[in-house]
Structure 1
Amino acid sequence: MRPLFYSLLSILMLSCAAAKYKPLKINGVSFVASRGVVDASHVKPIVNINANAAAVMPFGFIRDQAHPEVTHNTKRQWFGETRSGAGQYIEALHKEGINVMVKPQLWIAHGEFTGFLEASSEADWKLLEASYSDFILEYAEMAQEYNVEVFCVGTELEAFITHRPAYWQELIKAVKAVYTGKLTYAANWDEFWTTPFWHQLDYIGIDAYFPVSTMQTPTVEDCIKGWAKHKPGLKAFSEKLDRPILFTEFGYRSVDYTGKEPWRYDRSMTSVNLIAQNNATQALFDAVWDEDWFAGGYLWKWFVDHNNVGGVDNNQFTPQNKPVEQIIKAHYKS
């Protein structure tokens, strides 16, 4: 019986080893920078919704597109937008068992869309590239210093990438020279198909504002049908590149027609529709989260001062103190 027992045990062990390893989903939030330091009281609400990850988002600024120089880590910025602030946030999150993605972002004067950022001369391209590299490499070095789990090399910069692909390939090499964790890029939902450097990264990052329903108050079923239009392409893209897809941002406003153009944040949309937010969020979880090609994502967006943000009269993206918070908590626990 002894030889037979060991033979069966060996077969069982080999079968287990051959089974495809499924890493835990990234159940994350986008942790918005604030003026001051954070502590356990600011992180506990993230833990309480069963999240296991958060994006920390330091900022760089371009004050004039005619002179596209990125400035960052200045005394004029909020604490959470700077290197010291981001580092302090990371320590507070890690202390509570929350993994971190560092996701440096650009703000262009007057809130202009970063996807349109481009220079008008070779000299200005060189200025943009040099200053952007300084910005990104500073935070890549910081991410290494704090043992950050994921680093994002950029967010929604389609024109910049289209015009200067060689620069981006060299930038990623430079990031890898100082940071040894997982890498991604946050492509806009309609941009990722043409991003040329996914093979250099670990995740296909997508800011996932896919249109899923034209209904004023979308139902879960209608949104799931909407996702059915996108999922085959996402699956095929993931398989082609042999990379999992990570939603570097996802979420819905508590507003009418929230599934129609989920990227819209303008103030012209004044309604409050909590049911729309609930249904669109539940549908995303039902349609996408358990897919093998999907790595998880970071909910947009989560503010530091939990008790004083969001609420049932708020029509913006945050789920805080709204019914959808319980939907997220239940799903992140599963």
Structure 2
Amino acid sequence: MRSRLPLLAIFPVTVLTIVLGSPFILGNHPVRWESGSALPKVVIGDEKDSSTSSGHKSGTATASSPSGSASSAADALQVAKPWKQGMAQWGVQLYWEEEKTKRSDTFIEKQARKQAEYLIGLGANSVSVSFPFFIQNSTSDTLSAGAKTPSPERLQKVLKVFKDAGFRTQVRPILDEGTLKPTKHWRGDIDPASRSAWFASYKKFLTPYLRAADDAKTNTFVIGTELNSLEGDVGWEPLVSYTEKNFSGEVSYNANWDNYVTGRINMPVNHLGVDAYFPVKVPDTAPVSALVKGWNTWLDRKATGPLPKILVSETGIGAMNGAYHAPGDFYARRAVNPHVQANWYKAVCQVVQERKMQGIYWWSLWFDDDPNTKPDDKVASRLDFAGRPLSEAAIKSCFTSDYAGPGTATTN
């Protein structure tokens, strides 16, 4: 039987009014740099030379390999300590949008190997492949793949590269917000005219991806991400049951952090991830201990003590001044400050270990980027960590720590 995720605490209404009333200021949900962004994107080079490809990041100077031995990692392309049940999931969200000029399958597989090599150098044992699907507006009851949605066949090829290298793999479709931005909506407040039609449309879209994920022996399929307004709907029960019949791995849901700390995540799944962008009101010079305290203050509003059933399914922060106050603000482009990002990573890793959580997936790597190039801060997202030595060192220190994981107890 699937257990419902419990309500452990309720947030005071007054605090909710202050915090949740200003989502974009405080960053209560990640405002992603996805399709529809006004920020420029760099043209990708010839696919014959994948070393020059760059999706949303620019830069020609080669960054130091986080492994210190890129060639040996490339030769073996094998995770040092493959994930096993009960171990921590040390991973990254790999975000994949198909480019306007569709790349060949050969290029896609080579690019997947490049990302795998980089993640092995960081000490990762897990990867989550996130990709967009689309809706016309906030009240639409149909959704679909788009030009930027990878096909199930190509997704399966990428998953195979990571699985062959020993990674724990996860598939995570995520509703693109490009058509919602003009009306100031986001994926967490959509209100389909017909919810039954919406769920029928979602099932139709998911079906070939479930089959591809199952064929690739994927560990987890995320059935929904940050869909606050639809949580608890009766449509989830038959959809999750259908998913479990067509996919042999875990079925998970990724809740947005605001809903997680303020109420019950009423979803018929056994595995819960939290997309965690907790604002911490401290100066840029704050020590790691202050950030740890800030995270624990937020988490304690839900439950105190160990959280072995909870995975930090997505978190990140910009390498810039003022980011602690709004880590979920994906559009701000203030002065670069790599210490802010690195210290945030150190703090989150410490919290995850001290509270016996299941692990972390950092946001993010873009699939078509070359992770071995330094980000060009004139165009690159401040949330890029690849090519930022302090951040890479913090991630590697976390991923190669002695934390054994939450154990083998059944989750949620």
The answer for the alignment partner of 2:384 in structure 1 is: 318
Gaps of 5+ in 1: 1-20
Match of 2:313 among 248, 251, 256: 248
Q: Tell me the distance in 1 between the aligned counterparts of 2:128 and 2:375.
A: 19
Report the AA paired with residue 104 of structure 1: P
Using the TM superposition, give the Cα deviation of residue 69 of structure 1 relative to its aligned residue in structure 2, in angstroms. Answer: 1.4
Q: Does 1:63 align with 2:136?
A: yes
The answer for the alignment partner of 1:30 in structure 2 is: 93
The answer for the alignment partner of 1:18 in structure 2 is: none
The answer for the alignment partner of 2:172 in structure 1 is: 103
Deviations 1:96-146, CA, capped at 9 Å, x for gaps: 111111011111314441001112x3xx32332211122233322222111
Using the TM superposition, give the Cα deviation of residue 302 of structure 1 relative to its aligned residue in structure 2, in angstroms. Answer: 1.2
Q: Does 1:275 align with 2:339?
A: yes
The answer for the alignment partner of 1:47 in structure 2 is: 120
Structure 1's 42 and 286: CA in aligned 2 closer, same or farther, altered over 3 A?
closer
Q: Tell me the distance in 2 between the aligned counterparts of 1:190 and 1:216.
A: 23
Using the TM superposition, give the Cα deviation of residue 216 of structure 1 relative to its aligned residue in structure 2, in angstroms. Answer: 3.4
**Is the 1:258–1:280 Cα contact (8 Å) retained in structure 2?**
no
What TM-score does the superposition give when structure 2 sets the normalisation length?
Answer: 0.67
The answer for the alignment partner of 2:227 in structure 1 is: 157
**Percent of aligned pairs sharing the same letter:** 21
Equivalent residues in 2 for 1:114-133 (5 A)?
114-119=187-192, 121=193, 124-133=194-203
Using the TM superposition, give the Cα deviation of residue 26 of structure 1 relative to its aligned residue in structure 2, in angstroms. Answer: 0.1
**Is the 1:219–1:280 Cα contact (8 Å) retained in structure 2?**
no
What TM-score does the superposition give when structure 1 sets the normalisation length?
Answer: 0.82
Deviations 1:28-67, CA, capped at 9 Å, x for gaps: 0001214441322232001110001111123210123343
The answer for the alignment partner of 1:134 in structure 2 is: 204
Q: Tell me the distance in 2 between the aligned counterparts of 1:101 and 1:146.
A: 10
User: Which secondary structure does the structure 2 equivalent of 1:284 belong to?
Assistant: helix
User: Which secondary structure does the structure 1 equivalent of 2:222 belong to?
Assistant: strand
The answer for the alignment partner of 1:259 in structure 2 is: 324
Q: Count matched residues.
A: 298
The answer for the alignment partner of 1:87 in structure 2 is: 156
Greater CA drift, 246-255 or 307-316: 307-316
Q: Does 1:299 align with 2:366?
A: no
Using the TM superposition, give the Cα deviation of residue 84 of structure 1 relative to its aligned residue in structure 2, in angstroms. Answer: 2.0
**Is the 2:306–2:354 Cα contact (8 Å) retained in structure 1?**
no
Q: Tell me the distance in 2 between the aligned counterparts of 1:306 and 1:34.
A: 16
Structure 1's 96 and 234: CA in aligned 2 closer, same or farther, altered over 3 A?
farther
Greater CA drift, 53-62 or 104-113: 104-113
Q: Tell me the distance in 2 between the aligned counterparts of 1:117 and 1:65.
A: 4
Using the TM superposition, give the Cα deviation of residue 25 of structure 1 relative to its aligned residue in structure 2, in angstroms. Answer: 0.3
Q: Does 1:174 align with 2:242?
A: yes
Structure 1's 62 and 194: CA in aligned 2 closer, same or farther, altered over 3 A?
same
Match of 2:266 among 189, 196, 212: 196
User: Which secondary structure does the structure 1 equivalent of 2:325 belong to?
Assistant: coil
**Is the 1:273–1:315 Cα contact (8 Å) retained in structure 2?**
no
Give every structure 1 segment of 4 or more consecutive aligned residues whose post-TM-superposition deviation is greater than 4 Å.
233-239, 311-315
Q: Does 1:143 align with 2:213?
A: yes
Using the TM superposition, give the Cα deviation of residue 250 of structure 1 relative to its aligned residue in structure 2, in angstroms. Answer: 1.1
The answer for the alignment partner of 2:17 in structure 1 is: none
**Is the 1:247–1:296 Cα contact (8 Å) retained in structure 2?**
yes
